[in-house]
Chain A
Amino acid sequence: MNPDLRRERAAATFNPELITNLLDGSPEKTQRRREIENKILSDPDFQHEDYNFLTRSERYDVAIKKSAVMVKKMREFGIADPDEIMWFKNFVHRGRPEPLDLHLGMFLPTLLHQATAEQQERFFMPAWNLEITGTYAQTEMGHGTHLRGLETTATYDPKTQEFIMNSPTVTSIKWWPGGLGKTSNHAIVLAQLFTQGKCYGLHAFVVPIREMGTHKPLPGITVGDIGPKFGYEEMDNGYLKMDNYRIPRENMLMKYAQVKPDGTYVKPVSNKLTYGTMVFVRSYLVGEAARSLSKACTIAIRYSAVRHQSEIKPGEPEPQVLDFQTQQYKLFPILATAYAFQFVGKYMKDTYYRINESIGQGDLSELPELHALTAGLKAFTTWTANTGIEECRLACGGHGYSHCSGIPNIYVTFTPACTFEGENTVMMLQTARFLMKSYDQVQSGKLACGLVSYLNDLPSQRIQPQQVAAWPTVVDINDPDSLTEVYKLRAARLIDIAAKNLHTEMSCRKSKEVAWNLTSVDLVRATEAHCHYVVVKLFADKLQKIQDKAVHSVLRNLFLLYSLYGISQKAGDFLQGNIMTGSQITQVNQHILELLTAIRPNAVALVDAFDFKDMTLGSVLGRYDGNVYENLFEWAKKSPLNKTQVHESYHKYLKPLKSNL
């Protein structure tokens, strides 16, 4: 092991294993995760050449091969628990997408939730057995997050009892679904349902797209790959154009809404249920934000402990770059954020399962708030993580740009989370809508509950938002409760401002919608402040539950850094609202610098606690043993461009260049 890293690990003041258990949920879970991990690590079926040296089509090849084996082995090993499935998949695919993602993650669950018993029989079992491989085709070339704008039509023909699936325009071509380009033979297609001359909105249809046996596109279907992307090379994101393509009536998923043979439309009982899936996916993305950020952090912090550069004092040996204040200032707030998001992700997952149980018992009351909250948190955490990953890459200097660092792959794999499953700005505005609703509700005398209950405390008689001098300015910057409180005040204030601006715009422009658009920058800002408060609060709550003293103390420093750094970055909000004074901000900034020093000795142990295997990190710079440079050289030698000493371009272009000029 690299001596620097050995020294760092020996100097840690806490036992990283305890934090690993905390993050996994319990020591038993950690053990089980490692068991699965080791099984995969030692399985020759899952070994292959470094993705970085393969072409896109080779990568797809490797991924689909692994997926096939994975499904088989998962069942052999009896893995069915959702966490275990996720671990398994993540280890096999090393945190990367794979062609069966949509089949396993969307096609099967949608059948499970929305298919009738007869349809389960017809589709689910063959899909479970992978005779049918499916995808979920929602997004169109011209339409994404705004689902009502989708153009694909499904028109019912009572004469033949069929739906006519059609892509009427170029913009209506289904675009992006994973596994559609090459892998799937079926797709669940979201389309506008027309029957008896009326449009009933979006419904889901099971559409066969490729012939069983030959895998050739069926007549009336145009299907293919959408071409190269920033990342996701292993995934065959595809397009699908349907040309008045007929499917039997029974292929509409009819557990809720139905179309009778004569074309009569039967409404679903409740549409809140579809929220459930969205909540699940979004809370999963919050967890992904935490995981991706934690990985990037692990790489950057380990490398910063190994890398020596420049000088602090002349004549002394070059220091570890982690000893530079600016490097700590770059990385430690990200480390603190990674921990904060780990806890938020865990909270959301637990809440989802808790609420899911009450849904099972027919209680949907908590769904709207959760749905609203997850939208904003998904946006807040993915944006922050996106920026954080990139900062980790930059913190690795030039080598961060090489695929040997692993961070470019983490970045390009993660960054679509900002646009898929709901574009982030749109997500923020969804939560804003909920916040405005709660605000109005409080104004009209009804108490808000849950995480927005602080809106009840707004001094409702105030006219000018800045006349809030009455708010407490006694802030203890060492006290988690006090810090949670200032974030709460900031959120309350910005929501108050956004609501008032919205009302002002409404009173002078008449249209509510135009007013909404002209306030949307304020609304996003307010929602961000709300989400920031929620993250701080959940982190503070978690901190209280930690028993081990040493662990508590080190996580408390991270909590303080997370909260204070946020205040420092958004100092304008706290100053303008008289929540904090200039001299308090100075104290905050000073304390941040002290915390950097306090966290420094534990930095490596804190990333070790995330417990990523080298194979999952996929990074030469972030290796556990820290032997960076030797391995960097070995890695580069494998580059396809090094296969020959003299590259063919020399003979083709460079040599003629000098003789022809």
Chain B
Amino acid sequence: MGSRAHRVSLGDAWSGRVHPDIESERRWPAFDVERLTNLLDGGAQNTALRRKVETLVRDDPAFNLIHTHFMTQDEHFQAATQRLFLIQKLAKRMDWPDDSLEFQYIYRALSGDISLGVHSVAMNAIKSLGSEEQIAKWVPLCKTYQIIVSYAQTEMGHGTYLQGLETEATYDAATQEFVIHSPTMTATKWWPGDLGQAATHALVMAQLTCSGARWGMHAFMVPIRSLQDHTPLPGITVGDIGPKMGIEITDNGFLRLDHVRVPRENMLSRFTQVSPDGTYVRHGIAQVNYLPMVVTRVYMLRNIVLYGLQKACVIATRYSVIRRQSRIRPSDPEAKILDYQTQQQKLIFPLAMGYAFHFQVASIMDFFHRSYDAIRNKDMSLLPELHALTTGSKAMMTEFGAHGVELCRRACGGHGYSKLSGMPSLATYLLASCTYEGENTVLYLQVARFLVKNCRQAWEASDPASRKSLPQSVSYLTAARVDKCPAQTEAHFLHPELYMQAWAHVAARLLESSVHHLQMLVQAGADEHEAWNQTSVLLLQAAKAHCYYITVKNFKEALEKLEHGEPAVHRVLKRLCDLFALHGILADLGSFLYDGFLSAPQVNMLRTTYLDLLLQIRKDAILLTDAFDFTDQCLNSALGCYDGNVYERLFQWAQMSPNNNSQTQEKPAYTKYIRPLMQSRGSKL
């Protein structure tokens, strides 16, 4: 196999022989794994390029990630900074262009374990919100690391609700400067990555006051550390916010500003300007300040959420064919745990998600690239839909992804609790993603607001023309729909049209009843804001059903394109799409039975179909995870390596634990506490 040498961990004793239990899973492939890999990469040439990049970092001990399992927060940060440094050198040597695929691939190969991630976020923000002049001034400095910029938005007391931010930027026309100030303890910038130790500048989001009026949140470039010796500048209090559940490579920090003055030119002014006399000018809508967040979300969904989920699937699935436990029949040897129906139920949904979200991300990327340039050129027509799409996807993918990774971790039994499995680290990355870049509940409610606004208009307008103007992603909500599921046999549930109808029905019904509930409360005398709060649980459900519908739809549409060119790949992926759609229905069955859309006998059929799918997908499970084509280096898991030599590797890796180092072995604790404990001989006990 051409790519195998590429996948396995070199330099350890076992990669030469593949464990027979995983070998047998690969022996009779029902489809060409390489073709699927190419499809996921966007073409064979991309796969080739990706592997070339991966080879570059494979042999260099500086890029060996195994030791990261044993590091303190401080060591993590240092190692990640060192890797960044080495990558930049490598890129220079190889002459990689900016923003090239090579960078994307090397980040993937190193599991994103590289510091200064927020520096790029800030750079993107400058590109989105800065004038051409500002871009020309700051971006080259960022690219060559002459300056390091953190994106400082979240405050101690304020997160997702940006209007609540307290940091002030007051224009002083006399000196043509902005005075940036943290008026309260809760106004302290809190959480921004790269801020704790690394940043020389912060792109500070602050409430602008000029000409005696408040104009809302704007972005300001603020120097915070000396470019000579890196010490904090006058008026700046900056540091690390302390230990977290995970993401140790990032120095999340705090920042307090005490009347710090920056020149007028340091306000990013692509869409808004303050003229020297303090006159405020805006082009476009206020929401445009959210654009950097949209950009960040799109990349984060791929690099952290999608890859994280896929890696967890690879590790848990591979481990589940090596791990044997108990017997299915008394006469058989112990069974692979993947052969247990309950294990399949745990792992196959995350796997289906791993594919569903791949196509979801592809579709968002596509929409993003189509709309981003238009928005930067001040055509705002697509911004609301782009915002709603990324918001909904962020909430759904992080919620489901985090849940999926935890499911995979626990499906590895006790060993999933060991850091050497790689699972705790994946889990903590995904868990964090549920609250950063927008808290998920708030985001779902933003989607709900978008849906309510658009559909209300469409429902109230009687002429079909106004319905046509609906954003494409919500038009289904106002289309005619079926009230009863037409399925008559189990096989009917394998028709994408049928389960799409089911999701469309439920999403529309939930939205309708939310709108109805809102109206009812308003008619009963509640003001509309109170009514919104009292309907928010319902709205949340409607938004979630909508997001699920969109994900199923994207998956289905992506598959339609494969049907003729890649029939074998299409066949296996279609099962995943079916499973993804049906799993969601079973998980929220009440919503489908509630108004009789599904009948009780139909639910039984659906359940049978679902259980059959588990068995069928089980057969391809290893190949489907191989197709993601993550290197062992990037998986960094003793349980998940390509060759399946789980136990040998686990034992060997455990030996690297500093606690087993003979230099430090047990001496201090033993001599200090254990020995006296034992020698007290019960005299006092």
Known: A131-B678, A398-B159, A641-B197. A636 touches B70 (CB 8 A): no
Residues 461-481 of A, flagged 1 when their CB comes within 8 A of B and 0 if not, give: 000001000000000000000
Having A75-B684, A144-B325, A226-B418, one finds 11 other A-B pairs with CB under 8 Å, namely A57-B664, A61-B668, A225-B657, A228-B70, A308-B157, A314-B529, A318-B161, A397-B435, A518-B611, A641-B240, A649-B197
Q: Are B254 and A633 in contact (CB under 8 A)?
A: yes
With A and B bound together, what is the CA distance between A329 and B540 in angstroms? 11
Binds A, one of B269-277, B374-382, B457-465, B531-539: B531-539
Residue of A nearest to B82 (CB): A653
Binds B, one of A175-183, A200-208, A440-448: A175-183
Q: Is B527 close to A, CB under 8 A?
A: yes
Q: Are A419 and B410 in contact (CB under 8 A)?
A: yes
Q: How far is the CB of A496 from chain B (nearest CB, A)?
A: 13
Q: Are B658 and A419 in contact (CB under 8 A)?
A: no
Q: How far is the CB of A404 from chain B (nearest CB, A)?
A: 6
Which of the residues B230, B342, B536, B658 comes within 8 Å of A429, measured between beta carbons?
B342
With A and B bound together, what is the CA distance between A226 and B657 in angstroms? 7
What are 7 A-B pairs with beta-carbon distances under 8 A?
A: A53-B242, A144-B325, A225-B659, A575-B590, A633-B185, A636-B242, A650-B197
Residues of A in contact with B, size category: 35 or more
With A and B bound together, what is the CA distance between A634 and B648 in angstroms? 45
Known: A131-B682, A171-B647. A657 touches B591 (CB 8 A): no
Q: Are A636 and B590 in contact (CB under 8 A)?
A: no
Tell me which residues across on chain B come within 8 A of A125, comparing CB atoms: 682
Tell me which residues across on chain A come within 8 A of B589, comparing CB atoms: 571-573, 575-576
Q: Are A576 and B145 in contact (CB under 8 A)?
A: no
Known: A649-B78, A649-B81, A652-B78. A181 touches B659 (CB 8 A): yes
Q: Is A544 close to B, CB under 8 A?
A: no
Tell me which residues across on chain B come within 8 A of A139, comparing CB atoms: 414
Residues 174-186 of B, flagged 1 when their CB comes within 8 A of A and 0 if not, give: 0000000000011
With A and B bound together, what is the CA distance between A225 and B675 in angstroms? 19
Q: Are A636 and B239 in contact (CB under 8 A)?
A: yes
Which of the residues B435, B595, B656, B672 comes within 8 Å of A398, measured between beta carbons?
B435
Known: A224-B655, A313-B529. A130 touches B431 (CB 8 A): no
Residues 10-37 of A, flagged 1 when their CB comes within 8 A of B and 0 if not, give: 0000000000000000000000000000
Tell me which residues across on chain A come within 8 A of B240, comparing CB atoms: 636, 639, 641-642
Q: How far is the CB of A74 from chain B (nearest CB, A)?
A: 10
Q: Are B239 and A639 in contact (CB under 8 A)?
A: yes
With A and B bound together, what is the CA distance between A403 and B330 in angstroms? 47
Q: Is A508 close to B, CB under 8 A?
A: no
Across chains A and B, which 9 residue pairs bring their CB atoms closest together, nearest first? A571-B590, A572-B589, A129-B682, A408-B245, A641-B240, A639-B242, A310-B161, A230-B424, A225-B659
Which of the residues A68, A149, A181 comes within 8 Å of B673, measured between beta carbons?
A68
Q: Are B241 and A657 in contact (CB under 8 A)?
A: no
Which of the residues B81, B84, B329, B596 comes within 8 Å of A513, measured between beta carbons?
B329
Tell me which residues across on chain B come within 8 A of A229, comparing CB atoms: 417-419, 424
Q: Is A632 close to B, CB under 8 A?
A: yes
Q: Are A182 and B659 in contact (CB under 8 A)?
A: yes
Q: Which residues of B628-685 have CB atoms within 8 Å of chain A's CB atoms? A: 647-648, 650-651, 653-660, 664, 666, 668-670, 672-678, 680-682, 684-685
Q: How far is the CB of B494 from chain A (nearest CB, A)?
A: 19
Known: A133-B674, A133-B678. A227 touches B656 (CB 8 A): yes
Known: A149-B325, A225-B659, A649-B197. A239 touches B651 (CB 8 A): yes
Known: A227-B70, A629-B186. A146 touches B78 (CB 8 A): no
Which of the residues A403, A514, A576, A636 comes within 8 Å of B593, measured between beta carbons?
A576
Q: How far is the CB of B592 from chain A (nearest CB, A)?
A: 7
Q: Which residues of A507-521 have CB atoms within 8 Å of chain B's CB atoms? A: 511, 513-514, 517-521
Q: Are B417 and A326 in contact (CB under 8 A)?
A: no
Known: A144-B325, A511-B329, A637-B239. A227 touches B156 (CB 8 A): no
Residue of A nearest to B615 (CB): A518
Q: Are B73 and A640 in contact (CB under 8 A)?
A: yes
Q: Is A325 close to B, CB under 8 A?
A: yes
Q: How far is the CB of A305 from chain B (nearest CB, A)?
A: 14
Q: Are A144 and B669 in contact (CB under 8 A)?
A: no
Tell me which residues across on chain B come within 8 A of A159, comparing CB atoms: none
Q: Are A646 and B229 in contact (CB under 8 A)?
A: yes
Q: Is B445 close to A, CB under 8 A?
A: yes
Q: Is B64 close to A, CB under 8 A?
A: no
Residue numbers of B with Cβ under 8 A of A are 69-70, 72-74, 77-78, 81-82, 84-85, 88-89, 92, 144-146, 148, 154, 156-161, 163-164, 185-186, 188, 190-191, 196-198, 229-232, 239-246, 251, 254, 323-330, 334, 339-343, 345-346, 406, 410, 413-414, 416-420, 423-424, 427, 431-432, 434-436, 439-442, 445, 527, 529-530, 532-537, 540, 586, 588-596, 600-601, 603-604, 611, 647-648, 650-651, 653-660, 664, 666, 668-670, 672-678, 680-682, 684-685
Tell me which residues across on chain A come within 8 A of B84, comparing CB atoms: 653, 657
Residue of A nearest to B595 (CB): A582
Q: Are A326 and B441 in contact (CB under 8 A)?
A: yes
Known: A313-B530, A324-B533, A572-B589. A645 touches B232 (CB 8 A): yes
Q: Are B244 and A227 in contact (CB under 8 A)?
A: no
Tell me which residues across on chain B come within 8 A of A641, comparing CB atoms: 73-74, 77, 196-197, 239-240, 242, 251
Which of A398, A416, A568 has the most CB atoms of chain B within a 10 A radius of its CB? A398
Tell me which residues across on chain B come within 8 A of A650, comparing CB atoms: 197-198, 230
Q: How far is the CB of B293 from chain A (nearest CB, A)?
A: 14
Q: How far is the CB of A235 from chain B (nearest CB, A)?
A: 11
Residue numbers of A with Cβ under 8 A of B are 52-53, 55-57, 60-61, 64-65, 67-68, 71-72, 75-76, 125, 128-131, 133, 139, 141-146, 149, 170-171, 173, 175-176, 181-183, 185, 212, 215, 224-232, 236, 239, 307-314, 318, 323-327, 329-330, 390, 393-394, 397-398, 400-404, 408, 411-412, 415-416, 418-420, 423, 425-426, 429, 466, 511, 513-514, 517-521, 524, 568-578, 582, 585, 593, 629-630, 632-633, 635-642, 645-650, 652-658, 660-661
Which of the residues B163, B603, B670 comes within 8 Å of A572, measured between beta carbons?
B603
Tell me which residues across on chain A come within 8 A of B410, comparing CB atoms: 415, 418-419
Which of B72, B82, B440, B651 has the most CB atoms of chain A within a 10 A radius of its CB? B651
With A and B bound together, what is the CA distance between A390 and B420 in angstroms? 22
Q: Are B82 and A397 in contact (CB under 8 A)?
A: no
Q: How far is the CB of A582 from chain B (nearest CB, A)?
A: 5
Q: Are A146 and B424 in contact (CB under 8 A)?
A: no
With A and B bound together, what is the CA distance between A400 and B191 in angstroms? 12
With A and B bound together, what is the CA distance between A308 and B590 in angstroms? 34
Residue of B nearest to A181 (CB): B659
Which of A71, A142, A226 has the most CB atoms of chain B within a 10 A radius of its CB? A226
With A and B bound together, what is the CA distance between A143 and B334 in angstroms? 10
Tell me which residues across on chain B come within 8 A of A231, comparing CB atoms: 417
Q: Are A64 and B669 in contact (CB under 8 A)?
A: yes
With A and B bound together, what is the CA distance between A234 and B93 in angstroms? 45
With A and B bound together, what is the CA distance between A183 and B197 in angstroms? 37
Which of B77, B603, B658, B678 has the most CB atoms of chain A within a 10 A radius of its CB? B678
Tell me which residues across on chain B come within 8 A of A173, comparing CB atoms: 647, 651
With A and B bound together, what is the CA distance between A404 and B220 in angstroms? 29
Q: Are B156 and A632 in contact (CB under 8 A)?
A: yes
Residue of A nearest to B666 (CB): A182
Which of the residues A129, A326, A518 comes within 8 Å of B445, measured between beta carbons?
A326
Which of the residues B160, B164, B674 comes within 8 Å of A215, measured between beta carbons?
B674
